[in-house]
Amino acid sequence: MVRLAVVIYILAATVFAGSAVIAVLSMGMMAAWQIAGAFCAGLVVALPVSLLVARNIYNALNSRQA
């Protein structure tokens, strides 16, 4: 399940971090610390999301085998 979570994290982190940076830039916040903060916040938010999605996928695949 960890490998699945890592793959999902790579995809989710780019989506969340990119969306956060675009949101910050669209609000007119152009300072480097604001952009970096939004990027880091996106990376942090993507971690539990990827774990939840990986756990749901893993459980769905294992419940079909039994």
- 6-62 pLDDT per residue, tens: 999 999 999 999 999 999 999 999 999 999 999 999 999 999 999 999 999 999 999
Measured CA distances, 21 to 57, 59, 60 (Å):
28, 33, 33
Please report the pLDDT score of residue 66 as a whole number.
Answer: 54
Q: Give the separation between CA 13 and CA 53, rounded to whole angstroms.
A: 13
Please report the pLDDT score of residue 65 as a whole number.
Answer: 67
Please report the pLDDT score of residue 64 as a whole number.
Answer: 73
User: Comparing C-alpha atoms, which of 17, 49, 13, 47 is closest to residue 35?
Assistant: 17
Please report the pLDDT score of residue 20 as a whole number.
Answer: 98
pTM of the full structure: 0.87
Name the residue ranges covered by the structural domains of the chain.
Answer: 2-65
